[in-house]
Structure 1
């Protein structure tokens, strides 16, 4: 298991989850992810990427929401769990992500090659 993979798995466990407003996808725009995170996601065609980007959506956003929710990138997991990335609907977990964990996520993002999801 790669060092980056272990870091991602460790950070995922430290980011709390919460229930989104059904049908909301206000934070599901195009994001970047590391190559390691991308390897966990289904491959989409360039045409599907272009169509999603034209609507400022994520290529993995489906009619019922995120189609890769269990494998979504760290940046997606942070949305709504930190003061710097608040949920547009005012939702969030009982306990927010610790600032040290958020910093670790941002450091990992800054230290890895990122590609558009």
Structure 2
């Protein structure tokens, strides 16, 4: 787990950020994340998970946006930073994520146990 924590920290530092369109939550659908990242998020009830999934939403999406923004999973951080996962509102960082960093994120996701957020 500690090795994964270090990998997550290193990748987070290398994914650029950008300002989302106010009120937009278009990329906040159901996603999977690693057990390590999930352990950092507040525990939600089965009913909360089912309700969010029924709306094709994230269980951590609140009325004002992401309630776990500082701890959001790598896949959420990647949205809008790469041409493969563009922002539906044409928002983006000044510089897109380095393709090697994107590859490393996808490698991490493919090689860790993923759970539905």
State the TM bucket, normalised to the shorter chain.
over 0.9
| Alignment partner, residue 80 of structure 1 | 80
The alpha carbon displacement at 1:36 in A equals: 0.2
Question: SS where residue 37 of structure 2 aligns?
Answer: helix
TM (norm. structure 2) is 0.99
| Alignment partner, residue 109 of structure 2 | 109
Indicate the RMSD between aligned Cα atoms, in angstroms.
0.7
Q: Which runs of 4+ in 1 moved over 4 A?
A: none
Runs of 5+ unmatched residues, structure 1: none
**Mapping 1:1-117, distance limit 5 Å:** 2-117=2-117
The alpha carbon displacement at 1:12 in A equals: 0.1
The alpha carbon displacement at 1:23 in A equals: 0.6
TM (norm. structure 1) is 0.99
Runs of 5+ unmatched residues, structure 2: none
Count of aligned positions: 117
Counterpart Cα distance in 1 of 2:66 and 2:92: 17
